[in-house]
Amino acid sequence: MKTVLVVDDDPSIRALIRLYLEGAGYAVREAADGKLAMQSLAGQSADLVVLDIFMPEMDGLEVLQVLRETCRTCKVMAISGGSAKVGMDLLSHATIFGADDVLEKPFTSEILLEKVVALIG
């Protein structure tokens, strides 16, 4: 079974993604911020990290930089709903930093699952 680590400071987003992914047969772990994500990944790897950009402690771009140095084979999908709010396209920055794919909030279960399947099967 493929494992996905969902990293988002919004518990409702984490719960929704968990619901979608577990329903499709994936094992899901959660982290509420970037520091907790790094701790989780130090103990156990994941096939995919679904990574929010805007978070306290350690934001998604910082996590992505560390992941690309420590786990080059990890697949990462950056997610964000804040790009339009701040007037910057941070999701395109995420691809520059090494994200394998991006997903803008809000999203449907179909789009999320299509992207996850394309990344890890």
Segments in the chain below pLDDT 50: 87
CA-atom Rg of the chain in angstroms: 13
Q: What are residue 52's DSSP bridge partners?
A: 79
Give residue-wise pLDDT tens across range 50-85: 999 988 888 899 999 999 888 878 899 999 986 555
Cβ 4 vs Cβ 48: under 8 Å: yes
- Tell me the torsion sign for CA atoms 97, 20, 13, 7: negative
